């Protein structure tokens, strides 16, 4: 399939790109600032001689004009976009009463508005083609999460957007679903997940030794959602959380 993946230079996004290329998909992914990391992903894909082709483009998803331009470029590179994975996301944690306008806006603009801009830019060609798959990477934060008013609101918003787009465009052959990762070891969680939350996960996640998720488990879920077998799965919010579906 021809895929556009946002935030593909590291973490969950990079793994979706690498595993997708291994499975033979042609992919354009975006990075926002670290071009070296984007090159590393390409190198890795070259090393493993993945079947699919992979390119990257720079994109700040907060900029709707840039989103439209990058979607056009990716469309040219791929010869059309069949799959969009909205993975780009950030956290700016803190108690709600101390949260700055900037921290509120940055998170909403990146996680929620960015996802909307990408969907809006890609949907017309999917409608014309009579086929499309959109997967939004949400978060367990959507159930409410202390210290994450901005993040939680953005991810709950993503889920509402997912269900709405599924209803608006399902008849056009397009499915829109959200995946909800629990705790996965990435730069984001290494940089910002407090030890008490790691402990909480280890104590309560009903997996052997309260283990975190494996990135391959998430990319496999994305692969399923874009497969022909998942054509009847639409507007869903699917948890890959090991069974821990609530937060402190
Ligand atoms: P990460 O920090 O390693 O990756 C985030 C990606 O988003 C990076 O590639 C970054 O460049 C990109 N990005 C950030 N701001 C951007 C912007 N303005 N424009 C374009 N790209 C931008 O984090 P991770 O863990 O890989 O997270 C990926 C997604 O998964 C995020 O949406 C996150 O909220 C979600 N998630 C992650 C969980 C985890 O346990 N790691 C748990 C729940 C959700």
- Which has the minimum average pLDDT: 38-52, 109-123, 183-197? 183-197
Cα–ligand 1 centroid distance for 6 (angstroms): 9
Task: Indicate whether 205 pLDDT > 80.
Answer: yes
Cβ 83 under 6 angstroms from ligand 1: no
User: Is residue 217 helix, strand or coil?
Assistant: helix
Q: Which residues are catalytic?
A: 151
Is 245 inside any structural domain? no
Q: Give the per-residue pLDDT at 248.
A: 74
pLDDT band at 247 (very low <50, low <70, confident <90, very high): confident
Encoded tokens for 124: 């017309």
By CB atoms closer than 10 A (0-12, 13-18, 19+), residue 46 is exposed
Distances in Å between the Cα of 38 and the Cα atoms of 32, 34, 45, 211, 238 are 9, 7, 11, 28, 28
- Residue with CA at minimum distance from ligand 1 atom 8: 7
Cβ 61 under 6 angstroms from ligand 1: yes
DSSP notation for 36-66: HHHHHHHHHHHHTT-SS-EEEEE--TT-HHH
How many domains are contained in the chain?
1
What are the phi and psi torsion angles at 135 (to 5°)?
Answer: -125, 120
Encoded tokens for 105: 């806006």
Q: Which atom of ligand 1 is nearest to the CA of 191?
A: 2
Quote the domain boundaries for residue 172.
Answer: 2-240
Is 248 inside any structural domain? no
Proportion of the chain above pLDDT 70, given as a percent: 100
Average pLDDT, the chain: 97
> If you average pLDDT over residues 139-146, what whole number do you get?
94
Q: What is the pLDDT of residues 206-234, one digit of tens each?
A: 999 999 999 999 999 999 999 999 999 99
Q: Which atom of ligand 1 is nearest to the CA of 9?
A: 9
Is 17 inside any structural domain? yes
By CB atoms closer than 10 A (0-12, 13-18, 19+), residue 101 is exposed
> If you average pLDDT over residues 76-100, what whole number do you get?
98
Is 246 inside any structural domain? no
Encoded tokens for 112: 């929620």
Q: Give me Rg for the CA atoms of the chain.
A: 17
Cβ 187 under 6 angstroms from ligand 1: yes
> If you average pLDDT over residues 165-178, what whole number do you get?
98
> If you average pLDDT over residues 144-172, what whole number do you get?
97
Cα–ligand 1 centroid distance for 215 (angstroms): 13
User: Is residue 210 helix, strand or coil?
Assistant: helix
178 sits in which H/E element: strand 174-181
Q: Give the per-residue pLDDT at 230.
A: 98
Encoded tokens for 184: 């996965």
What's the CATH code of the domain at 194?
3.40.50.720
The preferred substitution site among 90, 92, 238 for testing ligand 1, maximizing ligand atoms within 8 Å of CB, is: 90
What gap in Å lies between CA 25 and CA 119, rounded to an integer?
20
Encoded tokens for 67: 């989103």
């Amino acid at each position: 399939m021809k895929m556009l993946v946002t935030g593909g230079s590291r973490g969950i996004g990079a793994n979706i790109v690498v595993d997708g290329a291994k499975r033979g998909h042609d992919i354009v992914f975006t990075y926002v600032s670290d071009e070296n990391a984007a090159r590393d992903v390409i190198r890795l894909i070259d090393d493993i001689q993945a079947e699919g082709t992979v390119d990257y483009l720079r994109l700040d998803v907060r900029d709707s004009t840039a989103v439209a331009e990058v979607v056009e470029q990716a469309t040219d590179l791929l010869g059309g976009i069949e799959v969009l994975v909205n993975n780009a996301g950030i956290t700016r944690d803190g108690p709600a009463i101390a949260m700055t306008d900037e921290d509120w806006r940055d998170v909403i603009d990146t996680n929620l508005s960015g996802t909307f801009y990408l969907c809006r830019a890609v949907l017309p060609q999917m409608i014309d083609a009579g086929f499309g798959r959109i997967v939004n990477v949400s978060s367990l934060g959507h159930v409410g999460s202390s210290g994450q008013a901005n993040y939680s609101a953005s991810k709950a918003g993503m889920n509402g957007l997912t269900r709405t787009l599924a209803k608006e465009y399902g008849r056009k052959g397009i499915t829109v679903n959200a995946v909800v990762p629990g705790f996965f070891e990435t730069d984001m969680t290494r940089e910002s997940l407090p030890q008490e939350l790691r402990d909480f996960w280890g104590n309560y996640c009903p997996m052997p030794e309260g283990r975190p998720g494996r990135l391959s488990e998430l990319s496999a879920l994305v692969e399923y959602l874009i497969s022909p077998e998942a054509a009847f799965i639409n507007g869903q919010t699917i948890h890959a959380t090991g069974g821990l579906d609530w937060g402190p």
